[in-house]
Amino acid sequence: QKEVEQDPGPLSVPEGAIVSLNCTYSNSAFQYFMWYRQYSRKGPELLMYTYSSGNKEDGRFTAQVDKSSKYISLFIRDSQPSDSATYLCAMSERAGSYQLTFGKGTKLSVIP
Amino acid sequence: KAGVTQTPRYLIKTRGQQVTLSCSPISGHRSVSWYQQTPGQGLQFLFEYFSETQRNKGNFPGRFSGRQFSNSRSEMNVSTLELGDSALYLCASSLGTSGGLSYEQYFGPGTRLTVT
C-alpha cells in the first residue's frame, strides 16, 4: 500500500460545478498537507497548504484535513475551464522538510 | 524574479547510456530537491541538496546521483539508463534555511527524459 492514495480520475465536470478531490494516507507522522496544481508541460505550483485538522479557504478553493481519518480534501467552487489540470496532494512529516510524499494526482477537466 | 530553470527540456537517450540534467534555482535559494514523475508511480523524491551537501535521499538506486555547486546550481546524473528511467524529472528550489517550511518549494518545468 502506498503511503498516499489519490484517485487518478480522470474527472470531468461542467463549468460552474463544485469539484471534490481527495487523498488518504497511512503515515500518521504526516503533519503538513499541500495541494499542487500541474498544467500540462509545467511543473507543479502550490495551491494550498494546511497544518492542523480543519478547513482553510482561499477564494474558490477550500482545503480540508481530517487527521483522525487520515483523509484530506480539496474543494473547488464555481469551477472554470482554466482549472483544468492535474491536482496533486503532498505531505511532509516536519515543518522544514522538503522531502514531500505525493499522491499520483487527479486529472480534472472542466467543460465549458 | 526569475523562476527555476531546467535544461535541457527534452532528452532522448539509449539504454545503457548516462545522462546529466541541470537545475538553476531561484536567486537566493540554497536548497534544490529533485523528483521523478512517472504515470505509474507519480512524483517521487530523489534527493535534496543544501549548500553543496546532500541533506536527504529518497529510495532510488545508486545509479541516480547528484551534486550542487557553490552558486546553488544543481545537476543530477543517471548512469546505465534503463527503459524505466523514462520520466519527467523535476527540480524544486527553496531557501533551505532553518525555519523554512515544506510548502515553500518552487518547481521548475522539468526535463522530459525518454530512454529507448
Pairing of strands A54-58, A45-50: unpaired
Q: How many Cβ contacts (< 8 angstroms) between chains A and B? A: 69
pLDDT tens for each residue of B2-58: 799 999 999 999 999 999 999 999 998 999 999 999 988 999 999 999 999 998 899
**B9, B72, B93, B103: best mutation site toward chain A, by most A Cβ within 10 Å?**
B103
CB-CB contact of A32 with A99 (8 Å): no
pLDDT for position B99: 56
pLDDT tens-place string over residues A46-84: 999 888 788 899 999 999 999 999 999 999 999 999 999
Cis preceding linkage at A10, omega within 30: yes
d(CA A93, CA A26): 12
pLDDT band at A106 (very low <50, low <70, confident <90, very high): very high
Inter-chain contact B98–A96, Cβ cutoff 8 Å? Answer: yes
The residue of chain A with its CA nearest to that of B90 is A43
Question: Would the CB atoms of B45 and A44 count as touching at under 8 Å?
Answer: no
In Å, how far is B7's CA from the nearest CA of chain A?
13
Provide the pLDDT confidence category of residue B103 given band limits of 50, 70 and 90: low
> What pLDDT, on a 0 to 100 scale, did the predictor assign at position A7?
84
A6: chain B residues, CB-CB within 8 Å: 42
Integer Cα distance of A14 and A76 in angstroms: 12
CA-CA distance, A63 to A36, in Å (whole number)?
11
- State residue A33's pLDDT score: 93
Q: How confident is the model at residue A1 (pLDDT cuts 50, 70, 90)?
A: low
Q: Give the Cα separation of B51 and B95 in Å (integer).
A: 11
Give B25's DSSP letter. Answer: P
Encode pLDDT of B83-94 as tens digits.
999 999 999 998
Confidence at residue B98, expressed as pLDDT on a 0 to 100 scale: 60
CB contact under 8 A, A98 and B102: yes
* Alpha-carbon dihedral B56, B61, B64, B66, rounded to 10 degrees: 30
pLDDT tens-digit readout, B64-82? 999 999 999 999 999 999 9
Question: Which residues does B92 contact at the CB level (< 8 Å), separation at least 6?
Answer: A43, A98, B4, B32, B33, B34, B35, B105, B106, B107, B108
Contact B56 A98 (CB under 8 A): yes
Nearest to B56 among A42, A99, A101 (CB): A99
pLDDT at B91: 96
Preceding peptide of A112 cis, ω within 30°: no
Grid cell 487523498 in the structure block, residue: A23
* Residue B34, min C-alpha distance to chain A (Å): 9
